[in-house]
Structure 1
Amino acid sequence: MSKKNILVTGATGHQGRALIRALQNSTDPQNFHVLALTRKADSPAAQRLAAAHTDLVTLVQGDLDSPEAVRKVFDDTKSGRGIWGVFCVLAFPGLGANADGEEKQGKTVADMALEYGVSAFVYSSAERGGEYYDDHIQLDGRAKVMIERHVRGLGDKGLPWTILRPGFFMEIYEGLLGAITVGVLKTGLKPTTTNRMVAVEDIGQVAAAVFRDPSKYTSQILIVSGEVTTIAQQEESYKQATGKRLPSIPGLLARALIMLNSHTKELLADLERKHDARETGKCPEVAEQTAAAKEAHPGMRTLHAWAQEQGGQSAAQEQNWNQVSLLRLLTGRQ
């Protein structure tokens, strides 16, 4: 059987690697081959990826900021099997940063996918409590909304799309950034406010399920989430799983950070808005979309299960994991 080529943008990032691991560990991994798109094929991250998945992954060098470079990636495969599917994940531009580049990248990849007739286009966006507030979202969130609208419009022209909307990454709780995040959430959110969370590995599993049966998920939105809980419930789950407290910066420092950084205030306000939308029924479609993702991958992790897997060891964040530094958080500067 000829293998199906899946082009993965952001292949060396968390979600791209999670999909690759899901395909590698599948009971039928022989059906797919991954073309891992990276800016620099000789970078340490790209080389580690290729070495870890020698039979599944081929590195492909290309720049998403250049439509010509993206077209070349598609053209270079035409003499062989071509590109059957695309998993589109785009890098976070930075806290409070302009996201015009992200929007342009997403639309370019989707346009090429339509032009070259891919059979499955999966775009990983972000959960935002339904679509009722879409016209008011700014920056990175706005870019994702505009990419989604563009992708869905291309569906009318023949693009077989599926959109994933992952919740708040559990992996954000790792390292120094994790301690800062926990401190900010504990200090800045109401005690009753819930947050929709997901383990990155589960995003990869859901994406893999879509590629295995694309017709089942065509023109669908899947909200990828393991649980919806308050920060106090999350702290209790973590303690039960590891015997340790969830690392957190002192409340005084967290309050100073919230006071100094407008983008942190906006994050907290957005979490409060999404909680309110769930509680007041402003996003009734979310329940069905969440159930669809759990049907695609029934083994979705809770924070308790994720923390047990981590063994209570807070892994060091990759350098520039999401383009946020402590200085940026404290000052709000880019």
Structure 2
Amino acid sequence: MVTTKKILVLGATGKQGAAVVDALLDLPSSSPTLEILALTRSPESAKIKSLIETAKAKGVTVTPVKGDLKDSPAPVFEAHPRVDTVFIVTTIGNEDAIGKAWVDAAIDKGEASQIVLTSVDRGGEDKSWVNPTDVPHFLQKHAIEVYLRDRADELEKNGRKLRWTILRPTAFLDNTNPGMFGKVFAAMWSTLPADRSLQLVSVRDIGLFAAKAVGNPEQWDRRAVSLAGDSITYAQARETFKRVVGSDMPQTYTIFGQSMLWAIADVGKMFEFFRTEGYGADIQVLRKEEPRLQTFEAWLKESSGWKNEMSGL
């Protein structure tokens, strides 16, 4: 009798991985109980130790697993040979090879029965399957999606069931957090046409949807879901920020943003995609499925790094 469900979370202390862990800890108590295998480069870090204690208070075991997304996954599964669910996130740089390696290892060495993959939206749930785009990291994420789907189909023909869910986030609301990156992102966003809306989602909400898939694997099997909580122009974002935070939305020089789009080909192509095609998540449908889905305003108030700035408002 299975008493524990093991979930391997890649990048467990990164943005998306940490959001997934947080959301898993908030799932209703269930049988079997959860054990979260948290892949991290620093298993002795204060962040991991705090996470272990928080999880323990909620009846969940968090086991740190030393490793890096870009390392060979084999040692991870040699140390933990039976894993029920694997959450896969990839970062820019040889993503397709790395993502496919984790898919293969999860299936062949980890004997996983479920994979939850976070990817990127490319124009809506149907269009994304046939639209890899010319944005390098979009294209590579598309290749991982297709590989996962095809491997699951192959396994099913041979009598093995692999459930999969693909989450396709749009731009991250978290890109506008305090710091230099937020200023640069704002400068790049300002280069879009004034009437061009950009769909955005909070990292927290990516975690919520990943936890839904883990908690209800049958319901979420073979679903590829585009995620967004808001669709706004840059001017609307600035107005909302001013009203909620009480100060102007930080932005470096527009010319610097333009220079970044020119200097970094991947980013330049991504903003060209924003300009000419755009994301295609169905926010109304998503909100029916998850009422907590954050708008830009809700994110500023509930999850952002700007919350302390609002204390005097």
Instruction: Tell me the number of residue pairs that the alignment of Structure 1 and Structure 2 aligns.
Output: 292
For residue 223 of structure 1, report the CA deviation from its aligned partner: 1.2
* In 2: Cα distance, 1:38 partner to 1:162 partner: 23
- Residue 150 of structure 2 aligns with an amino acid whose one-letter code is G
| Structure 1 residue aligned with 2:96 | 103
| Structure 1 residue aligned with 2:298 | 305
For residue 253 of structure 1, report the CA deviation from its aligned partner: 3.7
**Secondary structure, aligned partner of 2:200:** strand
User: Superposed, which structure 2 residues align to 1:184-199 within 5 Å?
Assistant: 184-186=188-190, 188-199=191-202
Q: 2:217 aligns with which of 209, 214, 218?
A: 214
- Residue 295 of structure 2 aligns with an amino acid whose one-letter code is T
- Residue 25 of structure 2 aligns with an amino acid whose one-letter code is Q
Distance of aligned partners of 1:262 and 1:75 in 2 relative to their CA distance in 1, 3 Å threshold: closer
| Structure 1 residue aligned with 2:74 | 71
**Secondary structure, aligned partner of 1:21:** helix
- Do the aligned partners of 2:118 and 2:168 also contact (CA within 8 Å) in 1? yes
- Residue 84 of structure 1 aligns with an amino acid whose one-letter code is D
For residue 241 of structure 1, report the CA deviation from its aligned partner: 1.9
**Secondary structure, aligned partner of 1:217:** coil
- Residue 275 of structure 2 aligns with an amino acid whose one-letter code is E
- Do the aligned partners of 1:224 and 1:294 also contact (CA within 8 Å) in 2? no
Distance of aligned partners of 1:211 and 1:135 in 2 relative to their CA distance in 1, 3 Å threshold: closer
**Secondary structure, aligned partner of 1:5:** strand
| Structure 1 residue aligned with 2:184 | 180
- Residue 239 of structure 1 aligns with an amino acid whose one-letter code is K
Distance of aligned partners of 1:250 and 1:219 in 2 relative to their CA distance in 1, 3 Å threshold: same
For residue 264 of structure 1, report the CA deviation from its aligned partner: 4.2
Post-superposition CA distance 1:206-255 (Å, at most 9, x none): 11011110101101101121011111111222222222221112334434
| Structure 1 residue aligned with 2:248 | 245
- Residue 143 of structure 1 aligns with an amino acid whose one-letter code is Q
- Residue 97 of structure 2 aligns with an amino acid whose one-letter code is K
**Secondary structure, aligned partner of 2:219:** helix
* In 2: Cα distance, 1:256 partner to 1:138 partner: 18
- Residue 121 of structure 1 aligns with an amino acid whose one-letter code is I
| Structure 2 residue aligned with 1:60 | 65
**Secondary structure, aligned partner of 2:268:** helix
| Structure 1 residue aligned with 2:89 | 89
* In 2: Cα distance, 1:17 partner to 1:239 partner: 29
TM-score with structure 1 length normalisation? 0.78
Distance of aligned partners of 1:314 and 1:163 in 2 relative to their CA distance in 1, 3 Å threshold: farther
- Do the aligned partners of 2:8 and 2:37 also contact (CA within 8 Å) in 1? yes
| Structure 2 residue aligned with 1:266 | 269
- Do the aligned partners of 1:222 and 1:292 also contact (CA within 8 Å) in 2? no
| Structure 1 residue aligned with 2:39 | 37
Q: 1:120 aligns with which of 114, 124, 136?
A: 114
For residue 84 of structure 1, report the CA deviation from its aligned partner: 0.9
Post-superposition CA distance 1:128-151 (Å, at most 9, x none): 213376344242222101101100
| Structure 1 residue aligned with 2:17 | 16
**Secondary structure, aligned partner of 2:27:** coil
Distance of aligned partners of 1:263 and 1:220 in 2 relative to their CA distance in 1, 3 Å threshold: closer
- Residue 118 of structure 1 aligns with an amino acid whose one-letter code is A
For residue 118 of structure 1, report the CA deviation from its aligned partner: 1.8
For residue 293 of structure 1, report the CA deviation from its aligned partner: 4.5
Gaps of 5+ in 1: 94-98, 279-285, 316-334
| Structure 2 residue aligned with 1:330 | none
**Secondary structure, aligned partner of 1:58:** strand
**Structure 1 residues 202-211 or 175-184, which shifts more?**
175-184
For residue 111 of structure 1, report the CA deviation from its aligned partner: 1.3
**Secondary structure, aligned partner of 2:112:** coil
Q: Within the alignment, does 1:225 sit opposite 2:231 as a pair?
A: no
**Secondary structure, aligned partner of 1:53:** helix
- Do the aligned partners of 2:116 and 2:166 also contact (CA within 8 Å) in 1? yes
| Structure 2 residue aligned with 1:144 | 141
- Do the aligned partners of 2:132 and 2:138 also contact (CA within 8 Å) in 1? no
- Do the aligned partners of 1:209 and 1:297 also contact (CA within 8 Å) in 2? no
* In 1: Cα distance, 2:220 partner to 2:129 partner: 23
**Secondary structure, aligned partner of 2:291:** coil
* In 2: Cα distance, 1:201 partner to 1:48 partner: 19
| Structure 1 residue aligned with 2:158 | none
* In 2: Cα distance, 1:105 partner to 1:165 partner: 18
Q: 1:236 aligns with which of 235, 239, 256?
A: 239
* In 2: Cα distance, 1:258 partner to 1:314 partner: 31
